Chain A
Amino acid sequence: MKTFPKGGVHPPENKKASGSAIEVLPLPKSVRIHLSQHLGAPAEPIVAKGDMVKAGQLIAKSTGFISANIHSPVSGIVQKIEPAPDSSGYKRPAIFIDVQGDEWMETIDRSPNLIKFPDLNSEEIITRIGRMGIVGLGGATFPSHVKITVPKGKKAEILIINGVECEPYLTSDHRLMLEKGEEILVGTQLLMKALRVNKAVIGIESNKPDAISHLSTLCARYPDIRVETLQVKYPQGGEKQLIKAITGREVPSGRLPIDVGAVVHNVGTAFAVYEAITKNKPLFERIVTVTGKSMERTANYLVRIGTPVTELIEATGGMPEDTGKVINGGPMMGQALPLLDVPVTKGTSGIVLMPVTESNRRTTMNCIRCSRCNSVCAMGLEPYFLMSLGEAKRWDDMEQARVMDCMECGSCSYTCPSGRPLLDYIRLGKNSVNRLIRSRSK
């Protein structure tokens, strides 16, 4: 079984919700759509207070190359456009829509029929993906049309579909692969066409044997696509790690996957691409796992973007008494939520409720130089050293020590026997080095 060679950890999987089929969450009373729910420039609203919108209607336009359109997830009336706290608690502009009925744009094909081979060329696919506001659904929310636009002078050779889902607890990609396998494969073909590659590999970790066998069987009819079983190891879902595991190529430091001829997309993205191209449906809903150790029921929901997180928790039987932390995303890279009325965004892959007993950090002790952080770092960095530089605010030295290579997978903090906040300081360093680089280029 293939995997990436250096580093990695194996946290307890806790994938409780892997057996729960995808359910459609009932529509909320109102939704809140933040204008910045993708990487890059925030979108600009094109609706005004009081406007009637339909589900799938464009409500905010992308404002640059790295930016994405936002479509209304529901039909209803725009109540207001004003700053509201996002998942960090800071106020960021958002569009509030009061839900009325469920009327979709007429252009959207709502039939469940599978459409296999739409007759479109590469450019048409890319523009349509851009128009439909599709972003990377693995969590990074990088606008997808940017990723499939191959820069001049470079050539894509292989498309990798990321079905790894190495984060503990989360099962949304797993369910999607089981229930929408054929659609994912058609989406993959469309992405291949857009990239002009003739080879695609779907990487799945061996802890999802049902998904592997399901997709392998389906792949018999798609000779260009192949399923690769990968050894279970975190952070295999990291783009660079996945490319290394599947192709053996190493993306050079500070470069992009396309530099080694690879492009990676999440299975969720492949499904969204299928819907966007064949069904004309913009990205306004996604699969969200709601799970937690002390939750009696766990679920995978098909949720409209903008639905408050509280509704998801209520629908799954409410918050258990002992909840100490609510995480937007998985426990390794997700973000703890200070407020629960924040909405689901395009990047929300799961809501994980952690019991109080597991919510707190461990007490921090001195570094005992055990070198475990070094050995688990998949990027070959020295987290203990970066942290000590960060504490001393030596940003130049941190840049020299390649802090920008860090992908914040959290393996170092996870493994540290002294419970040191390694990643906290590395993040601080990344932000400061980023500022340094920007001020230099001015």
Chain B
Amino acid sequence: MSATNLLTISYSPHQFGSESVQKIMYRVLIAMVPAFAVSLIFFGLGALAVTSIAVVSCMSFEYLINRFMFKAGSTLWNGSAAVTGVLLAFNVPSNLPVWMIIIGSLVAIGIAKMSFGGLGKNPFNPALVGRVFLLISFPVQMTSWPKAIESRFAYLDAATGATPLAILKEGIKNGQPLSDLMKEVPGYAQMFLGNMGGSLGEISALALIIGGLYLILKKVITWHIPGSILATVVMFTGILWMIDPGKYADPLFHLLAGGIMLGAIFMATDMVTSPMTPVGQIIFGAGIGLITCLIRIFGSYPEGVSFAILIMNAFVPLIDKYVKPKRFGEELKNG
């Protein structure tokens, strides 16, 4: 045998599955295509600009940090930076100035991800850290939502309006009755399709659900996290609605409005920052649903999905410590 053709010695197994990080990330990107397409329809130019800037800047920061700070091999093409970029873009209004997007990307990649050691080590969802950083730093720009369809051919100069949740929050604060307010928000069918104000990726429940089904079908995510988030939201808002339908909006409104679908399907299911066991995932999802509702209904912000996810992210190590998978041969009695 020649020196170049030495036999390889390694521990078993000697055969490997076809899964890879890259494949998983690309599947997530594919799953986001419908939502992106809807955002192009409703926000047009702005959506395209924001998304491409976010993706390019996230990938550049990942490359630069890897190259010059870690001095390690490039992790650019495993797709995780691109996913973070798209998710960050999905979570901001489509008229956000370029420099803010770049700052958001730097926070997301540099602080939330790479400072912990890169992919897999970050305790918090990078895109959400970026978004919340922007929301707290630039509250005005982050809450001026371009109107759907109308502002299709505009980017920075888009005409803005309020999101359904903001209309509700503001109105209730001013003492308007809920029935009047509900006339101001778009119809449920329109909200389901995505014809409403909001962050560019969160508007269409339909597109997000299609993406989510694709991810479940491809076994990238399981139903546990989205299922438990949505179920908790329905239950919590449902109980309040039944107590006083004149004061609290119905569960369907809460499902369709705001970022709950995007959060439940794409943000909370980020593998790195969610629990490992199905039971843990259900606890995690229930927590997110609960905190979201509390913020939406009793808090001062109209929307609370991103805060809820970040808060529950912090609980993941604890959940993983106490919720363990069922061991084989656990019970001594046998049937």
Question: Do the two chains touch directly in the complex (Cβ atoms below 8 Å apart)?
Answer: yes
Residues of A whose CB lies within 8 Å of any CB of B are 6, 9, 11-12, 168, 240, 244, 248-255, 260, 323-327, 329, 331-338, 340, 352, 354, 356, 358-362, 365-372, 374, 377-382, 384-385, 402, 405, 408, 410-411, 413-419, 421, 423-424, 427
CB pair B19–A372 under 8 Å, yes or no, is yes
Contact of A253 among B120, B273, B330, B335 (CB under 8 A): B330
Is B12 engaged at the interface, CB distance under 8 Å to the other chain?
A: yes
CB pair A369–B19 under 8 Å, yes or no, is no
- By beta carbon, the residue of chain A nearest B80 is A368
Q: A413 to B24, alpha carbons, bound, how many Å?
A: 17
Give me 19 other A-B pairs in contact (C-beta within 8 A), A327-B12, A338-B9, A369-B272 excluded: A6-B326, A250-B329, A255-B329, A325-B14, A326-B7, A329-B12, A332-B12, A336-B9, A360-B8, A361-B10, A362-B20, A365-B120, A366-B118, A367-B120, A368-B21, A369-B120, A371-B277, A384-B276, A408-B12
Q: A344 to B213, alpha carbons, bound, how many Å?
A: 51
- Are A336 and B15 CB-contacts (below 8 A) given A250-B329, A253-B327, A370-B271? no
CB pair A405–B271 under 8 Å, yes or no, is no
CB pair B14–A332 under 8 Å, yes or no, is yes
CB pair B329–A253 under 8 Å, yes or no, is yes
CB pair B119–A365 under 8 Å, yes or no, is yes
A interface secondary structure, majority? loop
Contact of B20 among A333, A378, A402, A417 (CB under 8 A): A417
Q: A325 to B5, alpha carbons, bound, how many Å?
A: 10
Query: Can you report 21 residue pairs joining A to B where beta carbons are below 8 Å apart?
Result: A240-B329, A250-B331, A252-B331, A323-B7, A331-B15, A333-B13, A336-B10, A337-B9, A358-B15, A361-B16, A366-B118, A366-B120, A367-B120, A369-B273, A369-B274, A370-B271, A379-B327, A380-B325, A380-B327, A411-B13, A414-B17
CB pair A424–B328 under 8 Å, yes or no, is no
CB pair B15–A11 under 8 Å, yes or no, is yes
Q: A421 to B273, alpha carbons, bound, how many Å?
A: 22
Q: A405 to B326, alpha carbons, bound, how many Å?
A: 13
CB neighbours (8 Å) of A385 from chain B are 320
Is B299 engaged at the interface, CB distance under 8 Å to the other chain?
A: no
Interface centre among A168, A358, A380, A421 (most CB of B within 10 A): A380
Interface centre among A249, A332, A371 (most CB of B within 10 A): A371
**Closest Cβ–Cβ distance, residue B285 to chain A (whole Å):** 14
CB neighbours (8 Å) of B328 from chain A are 6, 240, 244, 250, 253, 378-380, 405
Q: How many B residues face the partner with a CB closer than 8 A?
A: 42
- By beta carbon, the residue of chain A nearest B271 is A370
CB neighbours (8 Å) of A382 from chain B are 276, 324-325
- Are A366 and B330 CB-contacts (below 8 A) given A324-B8, A371-B276, A414-B13? no
Contact of B7 among A253, A336, A352 (CB under 8 A): A336
Contact of A366 among B9, B119, B277 (CB under 8 A): B119
CB pair B335–A405 under 8 Å, yes or no, is no
CB neighbours (8 Å) of A423 from chain B are 11-13
CB pair A380–B326 under 8 Å, yes or no, is yes
Binary CB contact string for chain B from 291 to 313 against chain A (1 if under 8 A, 0 otherwise): 00000000000000000000000
Closest 9 CB pairs of A and B: A410-B13, A366-B120, A417-B19, A331-B15, A380-B327, A331-B14, A253-B329, A359-B8, A249-B334
- By beta carbon, the residue of chain B nearest A261 is B334
CB neighbours (8 Å) of B16 from chain A are 361-362, 413-414, 419
Binary CB contact string for chain B from 119 to 134 against chain A (1 if under 8 A, 0 otherwise): 1110000000000000
Binary CB contact string for chain B from 126 to 166 against chain A (1 if under 8 A, 0 otherwise): 00000000000000000000000000000000000000000
**Closest Cβ–Cβ distance, residue B276 to chain A (whole Å):** 4
**Closest Cβ–Cβ distance, residue A168 to chain B (whole Å):** 6
- Are A336 and B14 CB-contacts (below 8 A) given A249-B335, A371-B276? yes
Contact of B21 among A252, A325, A365, A379 (CB under 8 A): A365
Contact of A332 among B9, B13, B325 (CB under 8 A): B13
CB pair B11–A421 under 8 Å, yes or no, is yes
> For chains A and B in complex, what number of residue pairs have CB atoms within 8 angstroms?
165
Is B332 engaged at the interface, CB distance under 8 Å to the other chain?
A: yes
Is B23 engaged at the interface, CB distance under 8 Å to the other chain?
A: yes
Residues of B whose CB lies within 8 Å of any CB of A are 5, 7-17, 19-21, 23-24, 75, 78, 117-121, 271-274, 276-277, 320, 324-332, 334-335
- Are A415 and B19 CB-contacts (below 8 A) given A240-B329, A366-B117? yes
Q: A354 to B330, alpha carbons, bound, how many Å?
A: 38
Q: A405 to B330, alpha carbons, bound, how many Å?
A: 11
Contact of A335 among B7, B12, B274 (CB under 8 A): B12
**Closest Cβ–Cβ distance, residue B62 to chain A (whole Å):** 13
- Are A324 and B7 CB-contacts (below 8 A) given A255-B329, A405-B328? yes
CB pair B332–A252 under 8 Å, yes or no, is yes
- By beta carbon, the residue of chain B nearest A7 is B328
Contact of B15 among A168, A356, A378, A416 (CB under 8 A): A168
**Closest Cβ–Cβ distance, residue A342 to chain B (whole Å):** 12
CB pair A427–B13 under 8 Å, yes or no, is no
CB neighbours (8 Å) of A381 from chain B are 325, 327
CB pair B277–A374 under 8 Å, yes or no, is yes
CB pair A248–B7 under 8 Å, yes or no, is no
CB pair A250–B13 under 8 Å, yes or no, is no
- By beta carbon, the residue of chain A nearest B326 is A380
CB neighbours (8 Å) of B117 from chain A are 366
CB neighbours (8 Å) of B331 from chain A are 250, 252
CB neighbours (8 Å) of A374 from chain B are 276-277, 325
Q: A340 to B1, alpha carbons, bound, how many Å?
A: 12
Q: A423 to B13, alpha carbons, bound, how many Å?
A: 8
- By beta carbon, the residue of chain B nearest A356 is B5
**Closest Cβ–Cβ distance, residue B283 to chain A (whole Å):** 14
Contact of A331 among B12, B23, B272, B325 (CB under 8 A): B12
**Closest Cβ–Cβ distance, residue A260 to chain B (whole Å):** 5
- By beta carbon, the residue of chain B nearest A421 is B11
Q: A326 to B5, alpha carbons, bound, how many Å?
A: 12
CB neighbours (8 Å) of A411 from chain B are 13
- By beta carbon, the residue of chain B nearest A402 is B327
